[in-house]
Structure 1
Amino acid sequence: MRFGIHSMVWVGDWSEASARFAIESSAKAGYDLIELSAMDPSVFDVEMTARLLAENGLGATASLGLDAATDVSSEDEEIVAVGRRRLFDALHLVRDVGGDMLCGVIFSALRKYDEPATERGVAHSQAVIADLADEAAASGIRLGLEFCNRYETNILNTTEQTLAYIDQVGRDNVLAHLDTYHMHIEERSMRDPVLAAARAGRLGYVHVGESHRGPLGTGNVRWDEFLPALTEAGYDGVVTFESFSSEVVHPALSSTLAIWRNLWSDNHELARHARDFLADRLER
């Protein structure tokens, strides 16, 4: 099992100074990898990022959420085409920095929808994910579908929905990306979905985030159900800590996720606490 940390615990941009701070801080806090926020893959200096990762012995994954202009679940084929290009750019970022996982809300926009998903929109989404998975497989990269709460997507809100969607896509490297923040809202159990995804052979990536997006163990997530379930399932993949505060602002993601409050100010203490919290409760 590897422990990761989301880059927005440290920084909201990806200049060389910010990248160095985020990567060095992640390594010093004892993490194995950093999850890059690839909302706009074009802002990344890939060579610089790969060099800093290598210098610090840190791995990387990348995640993103699409927006209305890049929504691959849209009925508008031009919007789907733009979203497809965004996803392939993010995939190439993962490949070029030596990562092996692209995850997040890559199957729809990360936003509040005004109506249910349409059959045509879901078909568009699945077709793009299938093509993305085929190219990802050539580089040994897996895709993690992060199902989210009903206020952030109308496609996938639960583990059960995600497993059914993955079956329809029919690619071995497309996996379920579980996130405790969203599960806390949508699932009836914090244990059963973990075991269901594992039984299906689709438990591929994990985000650990508190119910209020702040420090682990200070909200309402049932950690005594979720974390032992990972051990019970024999999960040996990545567990990435994700937390957001108005202390660190990303121009797009902070607003999309409604990060209006300052839930912490000392990101070094936050990161160390999360690392210790996980290490104390998970077998490595």
Structure 2
Amino acid sequence: MNDLGVHALVWTGDWTPEGARTAAARSREAGYDLVEISLHDPGIVDVKATREVLAAHELGVVCSRGLPFDSDVSSDDPATAARGEALLRQALRLTHDLGGHYFGGVLYGALGKYGHPPTAKGREHAVRALRRLAAEAEGLGVTLGLEVVNRYESNLVNTARQGLELIDEIGAANVLVHLDTYHMNIEEQDFSRPVRACGDRLGYVHIGESHRGYLGSGTVDFPAFFHALADIGYQGPITFESFSSAVIAPGLSHDLAVWRDLWSDGADLAAHARSYIAGQLKAAHARAAVV
């Protein structure tokens, strides 16, 4: 029912043609259906080469990115917010050119720790920018996903409820919630209620352990999360996301505070994750069928 994906940072720190070939080949070898590309450095992405390598390995693609503070779409400063909107529009068009139909991440602000709460003016800038972005995305056949992240990576959306409220303000049917179990483990009360609150407005899922290492070796309650997915009939992508200083992406790894070697063998990590996710899905759907 669900396409299973893997974040490219499991394999490579950049998306040069060589990095694309490596990530695509290894993602397919591990049994994944799609690969997620971070567009934090869009200038190095070769669209033609990427489309060719994805087609060769029969892989789908989704794209994501966050914004730097000097291009924060939720800034009080109109010029700063405008720079952020321009980066989002560039990434949206690149997603479409790569053949993707989903563009997500922290699209509503900078990716990093703020020293202050959000402001009404900044929120208004973000809402207006995302409303315009959603209209452009609709014309391209792209869905936007607002990733719910922890308090150290955003001051605007830290819970599923806050994500839904922001989407209500934007008022576009092609803007959905993106949940990530790593962030939920920090901010949510449990792993079930946020999923049910999103319902059919859940558009994308990141599976990550509490320490972003091997699944099942941390504190995330995966059975509760997958059972909730089954209960709402979620049929969207489920992507494994894990970071280690064994694979470094200049800039992005620092933004995400990737300081430790949580794993060194990406192939073993990804194969384990693919099997783990499939097992959780099977158990959750078996339980739902009985209930």
Answer whether TM exceeds 0.5 for this pair. yes
TM-superposed CA distance for 1:147, in Å, is 1.2
Q: Distance in 2 between matches of 1:177 and 1:42?
A: 25
Equivalent position amino acid for 1:188 in 2: Q
Amino-acid identity (%): 49
In structure 2, what is the equivalent of residue 19 of structure 1?
A: 20
Given that 1:67 and 1:109 are in contact with CA atoms closer than 8 Å, whether structure 2 keeps it comes out as yes
TM-superposed CA distance for 1:59, in Å, is 0.3
Q: Which segment is superposed worse, 39-48 or 29-38?
A: 39-48
Q: Distance in 2 between matches of 1:230 and 1:121?
A: 33
TM-superposed CA distance for 1:48, in Å, is 0.8
Please list the CA deviations of residues 25-77 of structure 1 after superposition, one character each: whole Å capped at 9, or x if unmatched. 10111100000011122221111111111111000000111110111000111
In structure 2, what is the equivalent of residue 282 of structure 1?
A: 281
Equivalent position amino acid for 1:89 in 2: Q
Q: Distance in 1 between matches of 2:21 and 2:204?
A: 25
Given that 2:17 and 2:45 are in contact with CA atoms closer than 8 Å, whether structure 1 keeps it comes out as no
In structure 2, what is the equivalent of residue 96 of structure 1?
A: 97
In structure 2, what is the equivalent of residue 165 of structure 1?
A: 166
TM-superposed CA distance for 1:240, in Å, is 0.4
Q: Distance in 1 between matches of 2:42 and 2:22?
A: 19
TM-superposed CA distance for 1:98, in Å, is 0.8
Q: Distance in 2 between matches of 1:260 and 1:152?
A: 16
In structure 1, what is the equivalent of residue 242 of structure 2?
A: 243
TM-superposed CA distance for 1:142, in Å, is 0.3
Equivalent position amino acid for 1:50 in 2: R
In structure 2, what is the equivalent of residue 203 of structure 1?
A: 202
In structure 2, what is the equivalent of residue 28 of structure 1?
A: 29
TM-superposed CA distance for 1:85, in Å, is 1.0
Please list the CA deviations of residues 147-183 of structure 1 after superposition, one character each: whole Å capped at 9, or x if unmatched. 1111110000000011011001000000000000100
State whether structure 2 residue 226 is matched by structure 1 residue 233: no
Equivalent position amino acid for 2:181 in 1: T
Equivalent position amino acid for 1:250 in 2: A
Please list the CA deviations of residues 180-217 of structure 1 after superposition, one character each: whole Å capped at 9, or x if unmatched. 0100000001001101101xx31100000000010111
Q: Distance in 2 between matches of 1:174 and 1:40?
A: 23
Q: Distance in 1 between matches of 2:70 and 2:51?
A: 29
Q: Distance in 2 between matches of 1:18 and 1:165?
A: 35
Q: Distance in 2 between matches of 1:10 and 1:234?
A: 31
What 5-or-longer segments of structure 1 have no aligned partner? none
TM-score (structure 2 length as normaliser): 0.95
In structure 2, what is the equivalent of residue 260 of structure 1?
A: 259
Given that 1:177 and 1:205 are in contact with CA atoms closer than 8 Å, whether structure 2 keeps it comes out as yes
State whether structure 2 residue 70 is matched by structure 1 residue 69: yes
Q: What count of residue pairs does the alignment treat as equivalent? A: 282
RMSD of Structure 2 on Structure 1 (CA):
0.9
Q: Distance in 1 between matches of 2:28 and 2:182?
A: 25
TM-superposed CA distance for 1:13, in Å, is 1.0
Partner SS, residue 162 of structure 2: helix
Given that 1:41 and 1:86 are in contact with CA atoms closer than 8 Å, whether structure 2 keeps it comes out as no
Equivalent position amino acid for 1:32 in 2: D
Q: Distance in 1 between matches of 2:204 and 2:275?
A: 20
TM-superposed CA distance for 1:139, in Å, is 1.4
Q: Distance in 2 between matches of 1:43 and 1:156?
A: 30
Task: Give the ranges of 4+ consecutive aligned residues of structure 1 lying more than 3 Å apart after TM superposition.
Answer: none
TM-score (structure 1 length as normaliser): 0.98
Partner SS, residue 108 of structure 2: strand
State whether structure 2 residue 52 is matched by structure 1 residue 43: no
What 5-or-longer segments of structure 2 have no aligned partner? 286-291
Q: Distance in 1 between matches of 2:266 and 2:129?
A: 36
Partner SS, residue 223 of structure 2: helix
In structure 2, what is the equivalent of residue 270 of structure 1?
A: 269
State whether structure 2 residue 189 is matched by structure 1 residue 188: yes
